[in-house]
Amino acid sequence: MPGSDELVALYDQAGSVTGTATRARVRAEGLWHAAGVVLVRSGDGKAVYVHLRTPGKDVFPSTWDCWAGGVVAAGETPAECARRELAEELGIHGVDPVPLFTKVYDDGRNRCHNFAFEVRWDGPIHHQAEEIVEGRWIPLDELRAWVEDPAPELPFIPDGREGVQEWFRRYG
């Protein structure tokens, strides 16, 4: 698995940094960790960018997501991670993600504190081919219907679904 020897920050269940471990160990043992995730909205706020994850992803492959993001590396803050992942995955630079909330996701195998951020963007999007197959803008009402559908036609990433449902509860 690419990046399996990458050192990531370990967190405890309460959300505090406790150490580091390899990405492979975090995945194999279901260790608590964190991610910086960014909701990319159009400049007018009426649409959100969604993307399809590649089949080679180590968690939730071939699912749609509305959050650009990834695992917090050792020595990195969630905000630094969010900026880095936004640039890597979507080619978005020169914006400061605004902190929103932290959404805990625990399905028994994946245990993560998702530190959620938001940006407004009308510029170009450049996908990282190793992580994203395709993407597009969709109106907020379509995103809401998609994540509220118990059996959607297109698979939506579980932690992203919970995160955007929380975003709609708070802001939408």
Q: Could you tell me the pTM of the whole model?
A: 0.95
So what's the pLDDT on residue 4? 72
Backbone torsions φ then ψ of 15, nearest 5 degrees: 105, 15
**CB neighbour list of residue 132: distance below 8 Å, 6 or more residues apart:** 51, 52, 53, 54, 89, 90
Name the DSSP letter for residue 62: T
> Residues for the chain: how many in total?
172
**CB neighbour list of residue 155: distance below 8 Å, 6 or more residues apart:** 62, 63, 64
So what's the pLDDT on residue 1? 45
| CA distances in angstroms from 8 to 18, 21, 41, 155, listed in the order given | 11, 6, 28, 27
**Residue 32 corresponds to which tokens in the numbers above?**
């608590």
Mean pLDDT of successive 10-residue segments in the chain (172 residues)?
Answer: 80 96 95 98 98 95 98 97 98 97 96 98 97 98 97 95 98 90
So what's the pLDDT on residue 3? 62
